[in-house]
Structure 1
Amino acid sequence: MAATEKPVMVIGIDDSEYSIAALEWTLDHFSSAIYPPPFKIIVVHAKPIPETFVGVAGPGMVFGSEPGLYQVLDQNLKRKAARIIEKAREICAAKSVSEVKFEVEEGDARYVLCKAVSKHNASMLVVGSHGYGAIKRALLGSVSDYCAHNAPCTVTIVKPKTGA
């Protein structure tokens, strides 16, 4: 790494309040209006692939559905990803953080985030915790747990605020 190059921080974001809180927490703790952030910040959203929601029988064919459902679902997921990135842009702008790169990658969030860390040679990955219990985590899987064990960098898991 060159002396003038900043270390990279990847922040995973989805449409949950937990990832929004993680983004806000990170910007509050690692940037200010006076000083530039010590990290190059890359916000990554993992867009699910349509196959996650429907069974594919072949090219363009979906089990038990009308032709074209796959394409409609894919377009809806792309629009949702664009809204998520736009919200992240607004949060960064509101906190006067302008040097941010935004990426949307298709796939399972666990793998997308670990791949982004490797791709950018990131020093840190920040993800939000949904606060699942052991049973829900076992059934649904935990992005933060997977990343904590598999990402080749420091992983910060921002937990939801309790009480108020």
Structure 2
Amino acid sequence: MAEKNGRKILVAVDESDESGYALSWCLKTLSNSNDTLVLIYAVQPRPVYTAIDSTGYLFTADIIANMEILSNQVAQSVIDKAKKICSEFDDQITVEAMVETGDPRDVICEMADKLKVDFLVLGSHGYGTIKRAFLGSVSNHCAHKVKCPVLIVKKPKSNDAHH
């Protein structure tokens, strides 16, 4: 099979509008038909519950199984939505998708290095200083850790957008 001469671009996706905007921006501005877009969604590992947690609630195997099913449904929904965005822009572009479990900051950095991507594209959630201090910035973490160029795409405020 002939190897394409395009670039490999890793795009982190999640449930947010900012993620969808970053993917759309990448498709419009950065990528072309020779490129391969690798979509990555990081699933936070579910907490491990003892039979009775600290609040006194009992977690049955059914509840835990249902939490796992819901997590998988969310992951599939995110990937399906991202693939739909890709197909609306360019149905010639090669799109691969992966769902990995772990802290998004670590998962995205590890996959960017492992796949030897040419670019990493992330949406910016635009958290303020306090929220960013508590939640940590995935984009900031990745910008300092990965070896490839990182593009952080900020969604314009709705009154600034010219769609």
Q: Give the RMSD, CA atoms, in angstroms.
A: 1.9
1:63-105 superposed Cα distances (whole Å, 9 cap, x missing partner): 2333122221111000000011110111111112441101111
In structure 1, the partner of 2:153 is 158
Q: 1 CA distance for matches of 2:58 and 2:136?
A: 28
1:72 and 2:97 matched: no
Asked if structure 2 preserves the Cα contact closer than 8 Å seen for 1:50 and 1:70, the reply is no
Asked if structure 1 preserves the Cα contact closer than 8 Å seen for 2:10 and 2:119, the reply is yes
1:146 and 2:141 matched: yes
In structure 2, the partner of 1:22 is 22
In structure 1, the partner of 2:83 is 89
Give 3-state SS (helix, strand or coil) of 1:14's partner: coil
Q: What letter corresponds to residue 27 of structure 2 in structure 1?
A: L
In structure 1, the partner of 2:8 is 8
Which consecutive aligned stretches of 4+ in structure 1 deviate over 6 angstroms post-superposition?
A: none
CA 1:150–1:31 in structure 2 vs 1: closer, same or farther (change >3 Å)? closer
Measure how far apart 1:148 and its partner are: 0.6
Q: 1 CA distance for matches of 2:58 and 2:129?
A: 35
Q: 2 CA distance for matches of 1:67 and 1:113?
A: 32
Give 3-state SS (helix, strand or coil) of 2:127's partner: coil
How many residue pairs get matched? Answer: 153
Structure 1: gaps (5+ residues): none
> Equivalent residues in 2 for 1:42-57 (5 A)?
42-51=38-47, 55-57=48-50
Measure how far apart 1:62 and its partner are: 5.9
Structure 2: gaps (5+ residues): none
Q: What letter corresponds to residue 18 of structure 2 in structure 1?
A: Y
1:137 and 2:137 matched: no
Q: Percent identity?
A: 32
Give 3-state SS (helix, strand or coil) of 1:45's partner: strand
CA 1:67–1:130 in structure 2 vs 1: closer, same or farther (change >3 Å)? same
TM-score by length of 2: 0.86
Give 3-state SS (helix, strand or coil) of 1:50's partner: coil
Asked if structure 1 preserves the Cα contact closer than 8 Å seen for 2:8 and 2:36, the reply is yes
Q: 2 CA distance for matches of 1:62 and 1:156?
A: 44
1:10-30 superposed Cα distances (whole Å, 9 cap, x missing partner): 000000000000000000012
Measure how far apart 1:5 and its partner are: 4.1
Give 3-state SS (helix, strand or coil) of 2:125's partner: coil
Q: What letter corresponds to residue 160 of structure 1 in structure 2?
A: K
